[in-house]
Amino acid sequence: MNDITSKARIGFIGLGIMGQHMAAHLLVAGHPLAVYNRSPDKAAALVAKGAVACANPAQVAQQSDVIITMVGYPSDVEQVWLGAEGIIAHARHALLIDMTTSSPALAKRLAEESAKAGHQAIDAPVSGGDVGARDAKLSIMVGGEASAFDKALPILQLMGANIVHMGGAGAGQHTKMSNQIVIASSIMGVCEGLAYAKGAGLDSAALLQCIGGGAAGGFQLNVMGARIAKGDFAPGFFIEHFLKDLGIALAEAENMGIDLPGASLARKLYNEMADKGQGRLGTQALFQLYMAGV
């Protein structure tokens, strides 16, 4: 593998709301970048800045020392990593990094299959949404061997500001599930608080200024609450993807014998929105459900 700090050829697969920003940071840092996205138009801006567009994951793998995936669902991860045109089959003793929020069991499988093929793999899901991705301030939760983490760290530092090695394969995904469980109840609290304030006739912007600096403050209130106050429900993170994450978290919790009533309620409420065709809105759009009868 080339010098990972400055010379490594990087492949990036999945150029969605967050992936586009993350890949751009790697390009700006001077890494040769090969990209693939199922919708080729999403690669255009990066190609215009010097990235090489590839026709499939195999082409990305064949010309990269480090390959990063940031796709939608565990089924997408399986296809990109394990399919006939996947990266495990076509990479050449590479470092493979999955930054998708996926299942811990799949992360372990990917690490095992990667090792059999002569690669190293880590699971490195992220938190921070579109803002964190744009500003390279993501929190990155890493599972895998310490040696693989050490190799990946200079690359991860180009995309995130809070990077923690949490343990072996799958530990990054378990950490992300904990993150999503916290968010599930937090965003409900934000929506309920703003709905109450609306009902009481309070100014939402003034409310956020007042309580955002106190014990209630945090990303969900200060960032997502501000979007709610402006009527901005565009996705920084899709409802449909949050439902995917909650499904994984609740299944894992069930396997551990843990009851998660907050996460269960959040999934119920977000399912109501998805059933109404609102799954492509941002998670802060839950506020609309609270205000539906007002």
Q: What is the mean pLDDT of residues 214-218?
A: 97
Kindly indicate the confidence band of residue 4, based on its pLDDT and cuts at 50, 70 and 90: low
Asked, for residue 115, whether it belongs to a domain, the answer is yes
Q: Please tell me whether residues 234 and 163 are part of one structural domain.
A: no
Regarding whether 164 and 192 lie in a shared domain, the answer is no
Give per-residue pLDDT as tens, 7-33.
Answer: 899 999 999 999 999 999 999 999 999
Question: Which residues are the active-site residues?
Answer: 176
Using the 3D structure, point to which of 133, 168, 203 is the last residue of a domain: 168
pLDDT in tens, 118-147: 999 999 999 998 999 999 999 999 999 999
One domain, residues 258 and 125: no
How many domains does the structure of the chain reveal?
A: 2
Give the predicted TM-score (pTM) of the model.
0.93
284 shares a domain with 200: yes
**Of 99, 134, 168, the domain-final residue:** 168
83 in the same domain as 69? yes
Inside any domain, residue 278: yes
78, 109 Cβ separation under 8 angstroms: no
What tokens does 49 get? 């800045």
User: 188 is in which domain, residue-wise?
Assistant: 174-290
